[in-house]
Chains A and B, each alone.
Chain A
């Protein structure tokens, strides 16, 4: 942008919000936005205003379009801008402790693109990514709360909670025989509700993402048959109140 233009670069907010800048000028303006908080604020308001103009132009979309979109999305992979790799999440180090280090080590920018997978493969990839992304969101939440307690049989359990979501992590647990597994429970006034069978412990730490937890709930960990139980059948090795 030439010097004669820069003094009135602020007046470009309107042209920018209406997408009326040619590509090169748009890029230059976006660079300027990076250094100009007041411009960013004005642009946000004007972009929202322009969108209102758009809302007013509504016209019924062809019904066939709906069918096509819905059938197409089943073959379109959703981008995962930031995800944690599950292997990293399983690391034995107390990763809740160092959110910034965690951010640096867990964050992985995925290739963006339309990926078409076989249905099951895609589903599995999606599930893993979604879980990892949710775990990351909880662990990185600025308002997260944490609590750690020793496990009576050895090792310790930690819960990180943000809103009604939580991540449970336990490490250093004694390894169970192959027909046994640790099972996690959410305990409320009505009793214990299974949150899943987490594994046999030992070298592998355990973790679980849970939703819809209340700060009055507790998490419990018991040793169960490897298929899991409908209700706890042994005395919990850990009862961990949700962090206040």
Chain B
């Protein structure tokens, strides 16, 4: 068989093919998308690397919304396990790995926030206006992170109403109806401010659309 191919070809050193997947070594530069693809194949070391890459963001988003550390940890943990469980369904054509994971984290936290009792309590609070606008708090946290500067700068370019709508909805997990109530603004206005605000942020952050 060797003779079939080696006759007039230079014998070069080629890496041996291993039948079990033996992909290139993983390291800090491996993209989250690649890691996720490997996780989808049941690769635990890839999952560990991915965990180290995204756990703080997942936890941060969840805690930002839920506040309670124990509950936040519980939800963040669920999210990371969900990442493992459903990595097989990640479709890179539809968005980045980080967007996929963070969207999952945000939705989970929202679900928790909106689950019956919590939601009831919150409505009470909303009704009583015992609420502190979130912006300063957000900015303070944001400043500790690498992406902070850009997010802070871009948030700063929004109108007050846009910024408040976006932060109350995204960071605090309020529905747009609650945001309207909190800001004492018509529903239609909040909808458009949320959209306009995000579009401005998108353009400011250079997110591809």
Instruction: Give which listed residue, B44, B107, B166, B174, contacts A73 with CB less than 8 A.
Output: B44
Residues of chain A within 8 A (CB-CB) of B51 are 66, 69-70
B14 at the interface (CB under 8 A from A): yes
Shortest Cβ distance from A217 into chain B, in angstroms?
9
For B119, the closest partner residue in chain A by CB is: A22
Nearest opposing residue in chain B for A19, CB measure: B110
Contact of B173 among A19, A55, A189 (CB under 8 A): A19
- The answer to whether the Cβ of A193 comes within 8 Å of any Cβ in the partner chain is yes
Contact A59 B56 (CB under 8 A): yes
Main secondary structure of the interface of B (DSSP, over half): helix
B60 touches A20 (CB 8 A): no
Q: Give the interface size bracket for B toward A.
A: 35 or more
Interface membership of chain A positions 48-61, coded 1 if the CB is closer than 8 angstroms to chain B and 0 otherwise: 11111111111111
A-contact 0/1 string along B77-113, CB 8 Å cutoff: 1001100111111000011101100110111001000
A130 neighbours in B (Cβ, 8 Å): 41-42
Q: Could you tell me if B5 and A218 are in contact, using CB atoms closer than 8 angstroms?
A: yes
Most buried by A among B42, B57, B198: B198
Residue on B with the closest CB to A122? B42
Chain B residues in the interface with A (C-beta under 8 A): 1-2, 4-6, 9-19, 21-23, 40-42, 44, 47-48, 51-52, 55-61, 63-64, 69, 73, 76-77, 80-81, 84-89, 94-96, 98-99, 102-103, 105-107, 110, 114, 138, 141-142, 145, 147-148, 150-152, 166, 169-171, 173-177, 179, 188, 190-199, 201-202, 205, 207-209
Listed in ascending order, the chain A residues whose CB lies under 8 Å from chain B are 8, 11-15, 17-23, 41-42, 44-62, 65-66, 68-70, 72-74, 76-81, 114, 126, 130, 133, 185-196, 210-213, 218, 220, 222, 231-232, 235-236, 239
